[in-house]
Amino acid sequence: MKLTFLGHAAWLLEENHTSLIFDPFLTGNPLASKTPDEVQPQYILLTHAHGDHLGDTIDIARKNDSLVVTTHEIAEMLSQEGVKTHSLHIGGKFPFDFGFVKAVEALHGSGIPGGHAVGFVVKFFDRFIYHSGDTGLFGDMKIIGEQYPLDIALLPIGGNYTMDIEDAAIAASWLNAKTVIPMHYNTFDLIKADPHAFVTLCNKIAPTSKVEVLKPSQNYTL
Ligand code: NI
Ligand code: MN
């Protein structure tokens, strides 16, 4: 399984002939490592509809006939744009060819009138990945960590709109993932953060997790 950081909260997950993208904000993303034409995902997982997550979803989905998995309200909006969707809601899980996607709580806005933001727990073949989406720290992350043997947790550390380094390190201590990878920082001035300070803090309070800091375009294979 290969996980590639596309910048901000956008990630490409690939295994054999299956590919999945989280929150494909590429056009206008100063850290984007690919253009929308360079990705051909079968699945797009969209945590919420703020511009820095919705990004190129419609364009990529139309070109590749990708299935967009997101919340009901955002799925309705995308269906009207001619995009193929599957809607989930908080706590809901559905099987796909590669495993399953479960929508989990995120403390954040949906980005459209009504609806919610979510995070995703994804079983991708034999691996478990948690993409928290944009979120503040919440105690039920402990349940996610107890319920699933997470291989990777992707967590925002930029603050202002989401958890900062301190809150994300507490999240890491609860999630107990084998590997934690920070995201959603340094894209804009408001979300500046030092990922190496995050590593230091995690080593102290979440010592069972290994932190990998990826630059956009870098990938992590497991
Ligand atoms: Ni947001
Ligand atoms: Mn965001």
Class of residue 131 by CB neighbours under 10 A (exposed 0-12, middle 13-18, buried 19+): buried
Contact 48, 110 (CB under 8 A): yes
The predicted-structure confidence for 160-174, as pLDDT tens digits, reads as follows: 999 999 999 999 999
Q: How far is the CA of 145 from the centre of ligand 2 (A)?
A: 23
Instruction: Note down the domain range covering 90.
Output: 2-221
Q: How far is the CA of 52 from the centre of ligand 1 (A)?
A: 7
Closest ligand to C-alpha of residue 159 is: 2
The predicted-structure confidence for 124-173, as pLDDT tens digits, reads as follows: 999 999 999 999 999 999 999 999 999 999 999 999 999 999 999 999 99
Query: What is the mean predicted confidence (pLDDT) over 109-114?
Result: 96
pLDDT at 80: 97
pLDDT at 121: 98
Closest ligand to C-alpha of residue 188 is: 2
Closest ligand to C-alpha of residue 23 is: 2
- What percent of the chain lies above the pLDDT cut of 90? 99
Ion ligand 1, residues whose Cβ is below 5 A away: 50, 134
Band the pLDDT of 71: cuts 50, 70, 90. very high
Of residues 23, 32, 22, the one with CA closest to residue 50: 23
* pTM for this entry: 0.98
Domain with 7 in it: what CATH number?
A: 3.60.15.10
DSSP H helical ranges for 116-192: 141-147, 165-175
Band the pLDDT of 203: cuts 50, 70, 90. very high
Query: What is the mean predicted confidence (pLDDT) over 43-65?
Result: 98
pLDDT at 32: 94
CA atoms within 13 A on the CB side of 160: 11
Contact 151, 127 (CB under 8 A): yes
Helix (H, G, I), strand (E, B), or coil: what is residue 200?
Answer: helix
Class of residue 91 by CB neighbours under 10 A (exposed 0-12, middle 13-18, buried 19+): exposed
The predicted-structure confidence for 2-23, as pLDDT tens digits, reads as follows: 999 999 999 999 999 999 999 9
Q: How far is the CA of 55 from the centre of ligand 1 (A)?
A: 11
Q: How many domains does the chain have?
A: 1
